[in-house]
Amino acid sequence: MRTFFGTDGIRGLTNKAPMTAEVAMRVGMAAGAHFLRGDHKHRVVIGKDTRLSGYMLENALVAGFTSVGMDVVQVGPMPTPAIAMLTRSMRADLGVMISASHNPYHDNGIKLFGPDGYKLSDADEAAIERLLDKSPRLADAAHIGRAKRIDDARGRYIHAVKQSLPQTVRLDGLRIVLDCANGAAYNSAPTVFWELGADVVAIGVNPNGVNINDKCGSTAPALLQETVVASGADIGIALDGDADRLIVVDEKGAIVDGDQIMALIGASWARQGRLKGGGVVATVMSNLGLERFLNGRGLRLERTKVGDRYVLERMKEGGFNVGGEQSGHMILSDHATTGDGTLAALQLLAELVVAQRPASELLHQFDAVPQLLKNVRFAGGKPLDDKHVIAAIAEGEAALNGRGRLVIRPSGTEPLIRVMAEGDDAGEVERVVDMICDAVRAAAT
């Protein structure tokens, strides 16, 4: 059983285990030792979002990596996909992103990327976790690593993202409201859209260490909705704290989730002959309407368990180049090795320019099937093993048989059971979810 790594690296409340400076230093030592392979000079790239605790954890990681003989390149606040890109382009052995993504400022996390720019496999994370409780083999005095900061990292990332569009595509005439969540993309994302000719109204671009994701960003789009309508913008884009996901708002202020974005990009790329794998990869949480939409166009929807890393694994296995999550993670593997909200937004905006249609029309690719998700918190144990819960789930599956889906899973980051159902009958969906939630609550007390 893994103690430190969850579904997306290590994450927790700052200054509480495992998110302490001590653990971060040990992670640096263990990850460094695991990737000390070959006779070349070893290097790790470290980036972070805008949380106050990023300074503390960054310095602890630097101490850990240099102590085992790894050189460190610090690039400061940068989107998670930028760290993945820089890890590859700088020929580094390892990349580290210090971020808790869409969580509040008081949480933080550590995400690791291999030399290929992809998130580490379960096997690599397990190997690093085994080393955390062992005394590291420290470098001798002459071979301790060096640390340096580079100033042009942001420009390298901006250039790479813009390269995902043909030189002929410009965003002139588009008014875009961009919410950067006071997070990692507060500087890079507005620059990308401005350099491509858009009229950018930027919000969530004044980080102070504690306002990341605070009433802004992809998980709190109300301010974006208001600003889009008030400013007469064509579209709104909301990133999360580390900018690896996005949520879109159309010109009327309506929210567009990741399923609609995948439908648009998947169908468009299929028409252009660019779609690989014969479909799109998403998780079990994606709406049944997306599956029906793709099937109606001769495409398929491959489902994985929740987590963009599992989406990416299936994409690599099956040769797909479009995948993502309903929550807004978009993986376009022709251009990036992980989810990238800025890059995905560019693909949408390019479609908007070509189609010359309002966002409210273009981004409504299908009618979503009624879907309901509820969370039940529990103190301990395994509620899903309770016989009454098992019976309730079986009853729910029978009720939805042929007319919907049921997904019940434990959260990978919190003591929650997530209960999701969808189907053509909204009343039946609600009844099934409430029945199962009641059974889980009873088992959890």
So which residues are the catalytic ones?
A: 101
DSSP string covering 17-80: TTSSHHHHHHHHHHHHHHT--SSSPPEEEEEE-S-TTHHHHHHHHHHHHHHTT-EEEEEEE--H
Q: How is residue 161 written in tokens?
A: 């993202």
Distance CA 427, CA 412 (A): 29
Per 3-state DSSP, the chain is made up of helix, strand and coil in percentages (nearest 5) of 40, 20, 40
Spatial strand order of the sheet with 94-98 comes to 10-13, 107-113, 94-98, 43-48, 71-77, 147-149
For 115, half-sphere exposure in the C-beta direction (CA atoms, 13 angstrom radius) is 10
Phi/psi at 264 (5° precision) = -65, -50
DSSP state of 132: T
Tokens of 283: 């998780």
* Burial of residue 135 (number of CB atoms within 10 Å: 0-12, 13-18, 19+): exposed
Q: Are 176 and 198 in contact (CB under 8 A)?
A: yes
Q: Say how many C-beta atoms besides its own lie within 10 A of residue 437's C-beta.
A: 18
Which residue bears the tokens 């990238």?
340
Q: Which amino acid is at 242?
A: D
